[in-house]
Amino acid sequence: MTALVSFDRVFELLDAPNPITDRPGAIELVEPRGRVEFDHVWFRYPVDVGSIASLEGDVLLPAPLPDRPGAWVLSDISIDVTPGSTVALVGPSGAGKTTLASLVPRLWDVTDGTVRVDGNDVRDLTQESLRRAIGVVSQDPHLFHDTVAANLVYARPTATTDEMMEACRSARIHDVIAALPHGYDTVVGERGYRLSGGEKQRLAIARMLLADPAVVILDEATSHLDSENEQAVQEALGTALAGRTALVIAHRLSTVVNADEILVLDAGRLAERGRHDDLVGAGGLYASLYANLAAEPLVG
Ligand SMILES: Nc1ncnc2c1ncn2[C@@H]1O[C@H](COP(=O)(O)OP(=O)(O)OP(=O)(O)O)[C@@H](O)[C@H]1O
Ligand SMILES: [Mg+2]
């Protein structure tokens, strides 16, 4: 498999358009440590290309909006995530959690401010090296119509069978795969063998372990997993996040309670930040979100 194919597949995985190109003289991110900084980040989505192309003859112009607060999806966000720590992003639906996370692998560029990885403005880095440093496990991981093995090793085409199986053991999915009709050669995906939501997430975690990125972005599933799957996913995550910088869009109580820092987003602003106990004690937005989580521990 060529690098180009696997890169295309990354986009398929990230499920995003790619209007972004490397700047001339972009540098490689080498041996990333995984420090992630947001420095006074402001963001709003570009206006729909289709609706302005005929008028402007140009594409992806920022929307010519007056500076009203409602226009911003993210307003003046500053965060510094130390290498190896886990930050949980919480907040109401539409608060901007997924958008914030998507600025790190540069699915979009900031409207103002800077996102840095290891001190480098992400716009100065080659996208290939940036995305190699970042692993994304989405809410509903996409599997290609191909074998389990192919779905795993595209993350690292040089991986050996032993390494692949080791990653699957760590991700608590090996036994499930071994029991499939053709084991690792079983074809999965839309028209293939259908794995459950929890199994797909663990396969995505195994894929991430093989890629071995310094930074992990995890959009936790909002759907109910049965308790066996829930337990397995929790165990898999424990292994997967150790030693990596993790930005977790958290819907599970256990994730937020264990996070090094919790960031509470509300309508694009950083409303609160801190550890679980402190935020519960503060009696603000987090405390009310937590009350909902506690009432129904597996969903956000
Ligand atoms: N591709 C897009 N184009 C335009 N607007 C978008 C796009 N994606 C999200 N938005 C808008 O940006 C805002 C923040 O959305 P975002 O998906 O980041 O929220 P979220 O906190 O992840 O919500 P949820 O908990 O429901 O996943 C919302 O108002 C949303 O409608
Ligand atoms: Mg989201």
CB 81 within 8 A of CB 35: yes
Q: Which one of the ligands is nearest to 97 CA?
A: 1
CB 120 within 8 A of CB 133: no
Rounded distance between C-alpha atoms, residue 88 and residue 256, angstroms:
6
Count of Cβ atoms closer than 10 Å to residue 36 Cβ = 28
pTM: 0.83
Å from CA of 219 to ligand 2 middle: 7
Instruction: Report whether pLDDT(230) > 80.
Output: no
Which helix (H) or strand (E) segment is 19 a member of? none
Q: Over the stretch 132-187, which tens digit does the pLDDT of each residue have? A: 999 988 888 889 999 999 999 988 899 999 999 999 999 999 999 999 999 999 99
Instruction: Report whether pLDDT(66) > 60.
Output: no
Å from CA of 87 to ligand 1 middle: 19
Rounded distance between C-alpha atoms, residue 85 and residue 31, angstroms:
17
Residue position matching structure tokens 């794995």: 195
Count of Cβ atoms closer than 10 Å to residue 42 Cβ = 15
Provide the pLDDT for residue 63. Answer: 47
Which helix (H) or strand (E) segment is 252 a member of? none
Domain boundaries 3-26+34-295, corresponding CATH code: 3.40.50.300
Nearest CA to 18 out of 113, 134, 109 is that of: 109
Residue nearest to atom 28 of ligand 1 (CA): 94
The pocket around ligand 1, CB under 6 angstroms, is made up of 45, 73, 91, 93-99
CB 220 within 8 A of CB 250: yes
Provide the pLDDT for residue 51. Answer: 45
